[in-house]
Chains A and B, each alone.
Chain A
């Protein structure tokens, strides 16, 4: 397993803070969170790129209503340059879309590993934040993508299957990578306390069953909670990014709060 960057490690040069966004279960709003966090960060003046790292089942293009001519696939095959594949997205950030034809890359071969690593190394210096929208679950590609990031953000909903899968993801990340901090974004929160409640229950089980097996305890930090909000569905139906279509909605405000925390913590640590 590839070792991960240790927080506080001296960086050779100024480069983007890389956050892998993942979830145990699919359909909890991982891509929604990636795209809208990116838009919120962009509004704060940050240079942001979202990389669709869900190689086999990419749907960031659908969420953003983009029809890319050049994709990560063309970069992987060497037919196009990385610069040609990076597109402006509505919301003021850049995207690198996987596109169709990536099924062959959904298995972690040495080629896929090299390509992902090269792409991420290339984009790093040009942005403040890079968000990696990984696939759902804990496949080897997902674990590898996460290992390339400085931070990992787990998206979960306060619902039993999502919680179990989020816990499984956190446990696997803690035991197979030297990760000692995981961030949590609680989506579709029914009440304002859901974010804290979910974090507490995940942390309690981690403390009991995972931390005793580790050399140091794993901490789950709550990045934010996005309230359950009909504007989200309305935005999806209009094929609009929530941050663009309903920037004042409760869900969008939840996203902005999470983005603010992401930037302020990053400034404190760097």
Chain B
């Protein structure tokens, strides 16, 4: 820290081995940057493409586990600083193994993609939906007041329940496949610096409860009792408003 940083070595893009990187981008269907390695911005475009590849789940396009964990840590910091309520939901497709066993892994993938779309449909742009495991998803909902938690989670559960995954030829509803999810959730502790693993663990415990109680259910951790009752709150605000209007 005390020493001046050594001068940056100049990068010679032409000397870099980028074949593997370009192949990956092409395979992922990402536009390979045009021009040559000598063009300004070309290397940055390759790096940007790789960053995007390594932050997303290839099957669903959702955030992957790595991105999710980064976002979770960032959200905890925010909640510790500004006290805004934030909800973490963890979801698991019920009886997914039997989908794979009965219909094959190709159908399993279709189901995962359909659930991913359903989840994206029910959240706000600021929320982060991630695929964190085979049939496991997680959603970070910043600034989600605790009375809304149950409503949001229930909406997601019902949305997935109503989603049809077409198996056979189009227009044959009989061949549609339906799946359900179990949902567990916990709010970030406000004003307290917690850890991502602890937050996940608390949400996971609720997911186990939802599974144990029969699946296709939502279970949220009962929120900590506020030291301020609604009567106290009302009295504070009554005074506030009365004096404002004087």
Choice from B81, B192, B226, B240 contacting A168 with Cβ under 8 Å: B226
> With A26-B191, A139-B191 given, is the CB distance from A57 to B80 under 8 Å?
yes
A118-153 interface bits toward B, Cβ cutoff 8 Å, 1 = contact, 0 = none: 000000000000000001111100100000000000
Chain B nearest CB: distance from A116 CB in Å? 16
B228 contacts partner chain A, Cβ-Cβ < 8 Å: yes
A204 and B243 alpha carbons, distance in the complex (Å) = 13
Task: Decide: A69 near B235, CB < 8 A? Known: A26-B191, A57-B193, A172-B227.
Answer: no
Most chain A Cβ neighbours within 10 Å, of B190, B229, B237: B190
Q: Mark B146-179, 1 if CB is under 8 A from A, else 0.
A: 0000000000000000000000000000000000
List residues of B (199-246) whose CB comes within 8 Å of A's CBs: 226-229, 231-233, 235-237, 239-240, 243
Q: Is the CB of B228 within 8 A of A167?
A: yes
Asked whether A7 is an interface residue with its Cβ less than 8 Å from the other chain, the reply is: no
Interface contact B236-A136, CB-CB below 8 Å: no
Chain A residues with CB below 8 A from B83, complex form: 25-26, 136-137, 165
Asked, given contacts A26-B82, A208-B235, whether A164 binds B193 with beta carbons under 8 Å apart, the answer is: no
- Is there a chain B Cβ closer than 8 Å to A110's Cβ? no
C-beta contact mask, A179-209 vs B, less than 8 Å → 1, else 0?
A: 0000000000000000001001110110011
Query: Min CB distance, B1 to chain A, in Å?
Result: 7
CA distance A142 to B235 in the complex (A): 26
Q: Is B92 an interface residue (CB 8 A)?
A: no
Task: Check A201/B192 contact, CB under 8 A, given A164-B228, A168-B227.
Answer: no
Size of chain A's interface in residues, with CB distance under 8 A? 32
**Which of B1, B226, B236 makes the CB contact (< 8 A) with A201?**
B236
Residues of the A chain whose Cβ atoms lie less than 8 Å from the Cβ of B243 = 197, 201
The number of chain B residues touching the other chain, given as a range, is 20 to 34
Identify whether the interface residues of A are mostly helix, strand, loop, or mixed. helix
Q: Which residues of A contact B237 (CB under 8 A)?
A: 160
B193 touches A107 (CB 8 A): yes
Contact B235 A205 (CB under 8 A): yes
In the complex, A15 has a CB within 8 A of chain B = no
Chain B residues near A165 (CB, 8 Å)? Answer: 83
Residue numbers in B under 8 Å from A62 (CB-CB): none
Q: By the criterion CB–CB under 8 Å, are B192 and A137 in contact?
A: yes
Evaluate contact between B232 and A209: CB separation under 8 angstroms. yes
- In the assembled complex, the Cα of A138 lies from the Cα of B81 at a distance in Å of 12
Per CB-CB distance, the 7 closest pairs between chain A and chain B, nearest first, are: A137-B191, A201-B239, A56-B193, A106-B193, A139-B192, A168-B227, A168-B228
Q: What would 25 A/B residue contacts be, using CB atoms closer than 8 Å? A: A26-B191, A56-B80, A56-B193, A57-B81, A57-B193, A69-B1, A103-B193, A106-B80, A106-B193, A135-B80, A135-B191, A137-B192, A142-B191, A160-B240, A163-B236, A164-B228, A167-B228, A168-B228, A171-B227, A200-B239, A201-B236, A201-B239, A202-B236, A205-B239, A208-B235
Knowing that A165-B83, A202-B236 are A-B contacts, what are 4 other residue pairs whose CB atoms are under 8 Å apart, sorted by A's residue number?
A163-B240, A168-B226, A197-B243, A205-B239
